Amino acid sequence: MSNMQHKQQQNIHARRRMYVVVGLMAFGLAMLLIRAVNLHVLQSDTLKARASHQHFHQYDVAAPRGAILDRHGRILSKSIEVPSIGALVGEIPKKNLKSLASALGIPLSKLQKKIKHHKGFRWLARQVSPAVAARVAALKILGVRQESEWRRYQPLGPETGHVLGFVGVDGHGLEGVERSMNQRLQGQAGTRLVQRDARGHSLPGGIWLKKPHMGSALTLTIDSNIQSVAYAALTEGIHKQHAKGGSVVVMNPKNGDILAMTSWPSFNPNNFTHYKPRQWRNRAITDIFEPGSTMKPFTIATAIDSKKWQANSRVFCENGSFRVADYTIHDDHSEGWLNLTGIIAKSSNIGAAKIALNVGSEQLGNHLASLGFGRRTGIGLGGESAGILLPPKKWGVVETANIAFGQGIATTPLQLATAFSVLANHGVKLTPRLVLSDKKNLGKQIFSTKTSQAVTQMLIAATGSNGTGKRAVPAGYHVAGKTGTAQKANNQGSYAKDKFTAVFAGFVPAEDPEVVIVVVIDEPKKSIYGGTVAAPVFRNIAATALPYLGSLPDMRASANWKVQQASVTSNAPPASGLTPHLIGLSLRQAFQQAEQQGYALRSHGSGWVTRQSPHPLTALSAGSNIEVWLNE
């Protein structure tokens, strides 16, 4: 092959190589172009989202719940900001786990379990104390940070626990008002965005994508002072009797407002996890009991409304023993002829039974149903019981006779308070309410005004010196009320011989009722009678609550009556020799009042006075001590 041919062949090979290189370059450029189009056009949104996720982290931030207030604007429940410890798990150096667990106050194994199989954000400890947060912050561990959350705090603690309920760690109401009004109280969560560096580590600061909005406030009809008084009186009464438990309801009969609702055993909603679920229930609306003789006023009212009976009508009470069908009814005391007032005052089962049998099951049953027995009150709290009231068509003569004096029927404390409010409110039934409202509570006439007035006079007699309810009367007032003592049913379909419910229900002042109070004591041990167990609790509540509400004891015979009246309504010092009214005052004001009258003051707690001993406007010698309890 000549040199020229060899050169030509080399040129051909060179050109071929060049074409291959150019082709490869063109192919590479084409692939890059396609890739660029794919990345910048076709996958643009996806890649931007991925980049944003890698460089930014967003998370929800809970909003504070609205406050719950009493009728005077005092805080019953509020949200407070507390520290919580969270972390981006993938960033935590393993060498720091032991010290982190120690700072959190948990075992290392528990911390390892929390973060196992997690790489993103994870809560390590929520709603911790400032001391724990400070210990963790001092370690300066990569990926671990402190966040702010909202925790619910109830200043009155056990006193309002059953009514208000509590809120879980995630900010949702789980019991009581917190649960039933959760939608209103719960705020709208916000969203916060934080930036990460090239290595994925969180950078300080951040921006709000959506700011959280606080929930709406809620004002209840509860009066925190009366609530505290009721709780203290109930607790004292139960401890004295070594009872199993109990409940109190205080209601304004003129508008249906619940001023106090408390139960015992209590629990602290600020630490609700320390208690068993059965301790959370609001006994005033969940627990039912046979009302015993507190049912007799409604039997008598039905009889008078039927026009078959009058207040002075007389019944022969069979000297203490009366047989209905194959069942014998007994009275605690042998009685002969009694008028209707006597039946109430002497609490005759036989007299009530005879009246009911004369009136008939249908009329009595319909009136009891109209009063609210056998149905929920509509107060708006979860877990409320309807009680037990069988339809009248299912009553025989024995059932009719028994229901007349409170056996074979079961009610809740709130239902009983609602029914007594009918007698206190001229025969008009109002729906009990727990949320304060300007809207008028429209009522329904159950008994005539004349009938209600007649039964009220009978109930006053029942608390007189010869009545079973005389221990319920605070000095200077008239009480219209009735005792009740009922055997508790057992699992065998009969009654336990050693388990009783003691009840007192009534209203005061009888002439112009300010409050209806129902006291229920479950299984008292020292005594079983409503007149000795529940009535003193009623008296203690009324003695403090009435002057606080501006309803003064009847001391018009005293020359200092006007001075005493001014002292209660304006919190000015009362006449010498009477305990000053300190409920609702600050600690400083209470000390001033006591000092001006020459009394020594002992205080417990802080805030405003919710309870005092001795009771306001009771006789007190110079130099004596006054003891007050305060709550914020």
Q: 229-256 pLDDT, tens per residue?
A: 999 999 999 999 999 999 999 999 999 9
Model's pTM, two decimal places? 0.78
Residues 296 and 403 in one domain: yes
Mean pLDDT calculated for residue range 478-488: 93
Q: Is residue 439 part of a domain?
A: yes
> How many domains does one find in the chain?
4
Give the burial class of 295: count Cβ atoms within 10 A of its Cβ; 0-12 exposed, 13-18 middle, 19 or more buried. buried
Angle at 557 between CA 552 and CA 563, to 5 degrees: 55
Supply φ then ψ for residue 512, to 5 degrees. Answer: -150, 80
User: Quick check: is 48 in a domain?
Assistant: no
Q: Is residue 563 part of a domain?
A: no
Torsion, CA 328, CA 329, CA 331, CA 332, rounded to 10:
70
* pLDDT band for position 501 (cuts 50, 70, 90): very high
Out of 174-178, 255-259, 330-334, 396-400, pick the least confident.
Answer: 330-334
The residue among 514, 548, 582 that closes a domain is 548
Average pLDDT on 49-78 reads 78
Q: What is the predicted pLDDT for the residue at 132?
A: 81
Kindly state whether residues 25 and 106 are assigned to the same domain: no
- For residue 590, give the CATH number of its domain: 3.30.10.20
Q: Are residues 406 and 464 both part of a single domain?
A: yes
Please check whether residues 89 and 178 belong to one and the same domain. Answer: yes
Question: Nearest Cα to 417, choosing from 321, 531, 285, 320?
Answer: 285
Q: Is residue 53 part of a domain?
A: no
Q: In whole angstroms, what is the distance from residue 203 CA to residue 274 CA? A: 38
pLDDT at 274: 86
Task: Please indicate, yes or no, if residue 417 is contained in any of the structural domains.
Answer: yes
The least confident of 14-28, 206-220, 481-495 is 14-28
Cβ atoms of residues 311 and 457 within 8 Å: yes
Please say which residue of 198, 219, 240 terminates a domain: 219
The candidate with the shortest Cα–Cα distance to 461, out of 469, 453, 451, 450, is 469
Structural domain for 26, as ranges:
3-42
What DSSP string runs through 15-43? HHHHHHHHHHHHHHHHHHHHHHHIIIIIS
Q: Is the pLDDT of residue 6 over 70?
A: no
Q: Domain boundary at 174, 199, 219, which?
A: 219
What is the band of 332 on the pLDDT scale with cuts at 50, 70, 90? confident
- Do residue 10 and residue 75 come from a single domain? no
What residues are paired with 196 via a beta bridge?
202
Residue 514 above 60 pLDDT? yes
477 shares a domain with 351: yes
The answer to whether residues 252 and 353 touch, using CB atoms and an 8 Å cutoff, is no
* Residue 621 placed within a domain: yes
- Predicted confidence at residue 41, as pLDDT, reads 65
The reply to whether 358 and 444 lie within a common domain is yes
- 250 in the same domain as 184: no
Average pLDDT over residues 152-162: 91
**Cα–Cα distance measured from residue 149 to residue 127, given in angstroms and rounded to the nearest whole number:** 7
What is the band of 278 on the pLDDT scale with cuts at 50, 70, 90? confident
Phi first, then psi: what are they for 506, rounded to 5°?
180, -175
pLDDT of 359 higher than 90: yes
Please name which of 130, 27, 47 lies closest in space to residue 84, comparing C-alpha atoms.
Answer: 130
Q: Is 502:534 a contact under the CB 8 Å cutoff?
A: yes
- Active site (catalytic) residues: 293
Average pLDDT across the chain, whole number: 84
Q: Which residues partner with 504 through β-bridges?
A: 483, 519
| 491 in a structural domain | yes
Asked whether residue 270 falls in the same domain as residue 198, the answer is no
pLDDT of residue 282: 93
Q: Is pLDDT of 576 > 80?
A: no
Q: Give the tokens for residue 533.
A: 């167990």
Q: What is the pLDDT of residues 420-459, one digit of tens each?
A: 999 999 999 999 999 998 888 889 999 999 999 999 999 9
**Angle of CA points 234, 371, 290, to nearest 5°:** 50
Residue 205 lies in a domain: yes
d(CA 364, CA 423): 16
Following DSSP, what letter does each residue of 107-121 receive, concatenated?
-HHHHHHHHTT--SE
Is the per-residue pLDDT at 563 higher than 60? no
3-class DSSP state for residue 627? strand
Residues 291 and 161 both lie in one domain: no
The pLDDT value recorded for residue 392 is 94
Q: What are the beta bridge partners of residue 262?
A: 248
Query: What residues contact 488, with CB distance under 8 A and at least 6 apart?
Result: 289, 290, 495, 496, 499, 500, 501, 523
Based on the fold, state whether residues 236 and 383 are members of the same structural domain. Answer: yes
Q: CA-based diameter of the chain, in Å?
A: 156
**CATH value at residue 93:** 3.90.1310.10
pLDDT at 562 over 70: no
In terms of phi and psi (left: phi > 0; alpha: psi -120 to 50; beta: otherwise), the region of 200 is left
* Predicted confidence (pLDDT) per residue in 457-466, tens digit: 999 999 988 8
Q: Are residues 508 and 595 in the same domain?
A: no
